[in-house]
Amino acid sequence: MSSTAQAMLALARRDLKAALRRWGELGLPLMFFVIVVTLFPLGLAPERDLLGSIGPGVLWVAALLASLLALEGLFRSDMEDGSMEQLILSPQPLVLLALVKALTHWVLTGLPLVVLTPLVAQAFYLPANATWILMLALLLATPTLSLIGALAAALTASLRRGAGILGILVLPLALPLLVFGARATDLAVQGQSAAGPLYLLAALLALAMTLAPLAIAAALRISVD
């Protein structure tokens, strides 16, 4: 195994370990997701037709906001204890380390969200096949969201009050994910093929995987300077 791959694995292992030791924080975005989703039927009316038609959109907006919640801490501890300096100074390509950090973040926040979705989807009476499509769409969209979010988190990492700006930066960039994701779910609810928007989500993921780490690495260098 090459030393770069070894270092990338070591970084993933370290981040996962550190996150699991603070597992209380991990659950918060998920709880937020569940609570936001349950607020909608309470705020509207528990009518099946209404909930069925707004469900896909609500689930996507809630997922977007929940993942925003977890972003702030992505580089915070590394910045505070000086690990970020060591990551930047290491002989490993920072672009790959940035990719590892974003994907580890996805494993800790995006993936649980995907797993939780079938439960939450029941609140909106989503049919079973639509739930599968929703999960698939989230599986494709949440890593992209983690990458976009990691970029915004890297840009704001050295700011003391970065959280407010984070939302302003992430949400416009995440708009295509919302459009395609909600559309895929909508099509599935209507019993049509959702392949089109799913392909588009996959394309966005491929694009984000290649370009976002470059931008994240550049942003981290700026933040640490």
Partner 1 sequence: MLEISDLAVARGNRALLEGFTLRLAPGDLALITGPNGAGKTSLLRVVAGLSQPAAGVVRWQARALLPGDPEYSQTRIYLGHQAGLQADLSVMENLRFLIELQNSEFRCEELAVCLGDLGLAGAEHVAVRALSAGQRRRVALARLQLTQASLWLLDEPLTNLDADGQALIAAWLGAHLRAGGIAMIASHAPLASSAPGRCVQVELGT
Partner 2 sequence: MWIWFHKLGSPPHFYRTAGRLVPWFGIPALLLLIAGAVGGLAIAPPDYQQGDGFRIIYVHVPSAYIAMFGYVAMAVAAAVGLIWRMKLAFAFAAACAPVGAAFTFLALATGSIWGKPMWGVWWDWDGRMTSVLVLFFLYVGVMALRSAFDDASKGDRAAALLAIVGVVNIPIIKFSVDWWNTLHQPATIAKFSTPSITMDMLVWLLAMVVGYTLFFAAVVTMRLRGEVLLRERGARWIRELAAHA
- The contact set with partner 2 (CB under 8 A) reads 151, 155-156, 158-159, 161-162, 165, 168-169, 171-173, 175-176, 179-180, 183, 200, 204, 207, 211, 215, 218-219, 222-223, 225
Which residues, 6 or more positions from 215, have their beta carbon under 8 angstroms from its beta carbon? 151, 154
Closest by alpha carbon to 153, among 176, 171, 169, 142?
169
Distance, CA of 141 to CA of 60 (rounded, Å): 10
Residue linked to tokens 């959702």: 194
Q: How far is CA 90 from CA 12, 63, 100, 130, in A?
A: 15, 35, 14, 46
What angle (nearest 5°) sits at the alpha carbon of residue 180, between those of residues 210 and 134?
A: 100
End-to-end CA separation in angstroms for the chain: 32
Longest dimension (CA), the chain: 58
Decide whether 98 or 205 has the Cβ nearer to partner 1: 98
Please report how close the Cβ of residue 140 comes to partner 2 at its closest, in angstroms. Answer: 14
Q: State which of residues 16, 31, 38, 81 lies at the interface with partner 1 (CB under 8 A).
A: 81
Least gap, CB of 44 to partner 2 (angstroms): 20
Asked whether position 21 contacts partner 1 by CB under 8 A, the answer is: yes
Shortest Cβ 158–partner 1 spacing (Å): 12
Question: Least distance (Å) from partner 1 to the CB of residue 153?
Answer: 17
Which of partner 2, partner 1, none does residue 42 bind to, with CB < 5 to 8 Å depending on kind? Answer: none
Residue 161 binds to partner 1 (criterion: CB under 8 A): no
Interface residues with partner 1 (CB under 8 A) are 3, 6-7, 10-11, 13-14, 17-18, 21-22, 77, 80-83, 85-94, 221, 224-225
